[in-house]
């Protein structure tokens, strides 16, 4: 059974980590949601891409991104959303909760001793929350899972 999977991440190291996982999605439909960057054309050669400007810490940009995310999720109807961060994942995970879309958040490989702010914010609504270091489990609730490094 082929799934439609939304891969949402910021455009820097988080996107690099997502790209390192692409083999895991073979046989499934994927689409990217990320920020505009020098990688736009490269991503378009792999799968459909939705691009926006960086949200950063701006509440107004987060509101605009939430409306944008709602439209994407209602149009694409993904079976699952996978993210390694950063803040661009927040509106997608909260809307996914409302729409009943499964979510997997993978805390970035560089997070060893504490959760990212995005990780803390999406933790309550993520269906699955994976960490890549066993030491990080002590800073998480019971939802967190460790299977080894995924990248």
CATH of the domain at 21: 3.40.50.2000
Give buried/exposed letters for 67-78 (b at 16+ CB in 10 A, else e).
ebbeebbeebeb
Q: What is the pLDDT along the chain (151 residues), one digit of tens a residue?
A: 899 999 999 999 999 999 999 999 999 999 999 999 999 999 999 999 999 999 999 999 999 999 999 999 999 999 999 999 999 999 999 999 999 999 999 998 888 889 999 999 999 999 999 999 999 999 898 999 998 888 7
Cα separation, 94 vs 96, in Å, equals 5
Domain total in the chain: 1
pTM here is 0.95
Q: Which domain holds residue 62?
A: 4-146
Q: Which pLDDT does position 1 carry in this prediction?
A: 87
- How long, in residues, is the chain? 151
Closest to 62 in 3D by CA, of 86, 28, 83: 86
């Amino acid at each position: 059974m082929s799934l439609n999977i939304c891969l949402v991440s910021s455009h820097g190291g988080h996107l690099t980590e997502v790209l390192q996982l692409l083999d895991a999605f073979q046989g499934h439909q994927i689409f990217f949601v990320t920020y505009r960057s020098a990688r736009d054309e490269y991503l378009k050669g792999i799968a459909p891409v939705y691009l926006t400007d960086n949200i950063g810490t701006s509440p107004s940009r987060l509101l605009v991104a939430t409306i944008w995310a709602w439209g994407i999720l209602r149009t694409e109807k993904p079976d699952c959303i996978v993210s390694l961060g950063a803040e661009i994942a927040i509106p997608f995970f909260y809307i996914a909760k409302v729409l009943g879309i499964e979510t997997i958040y993978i805390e970035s490989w560089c997070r060893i001793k504490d959760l990212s702010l995005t990780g803390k914010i999406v933790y309550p609504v993520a269906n699955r929350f994976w960490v890549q270091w066993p030491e990080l489990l002590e800073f998480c609730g019971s939802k967190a899972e460790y299977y080894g490094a995924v990248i």
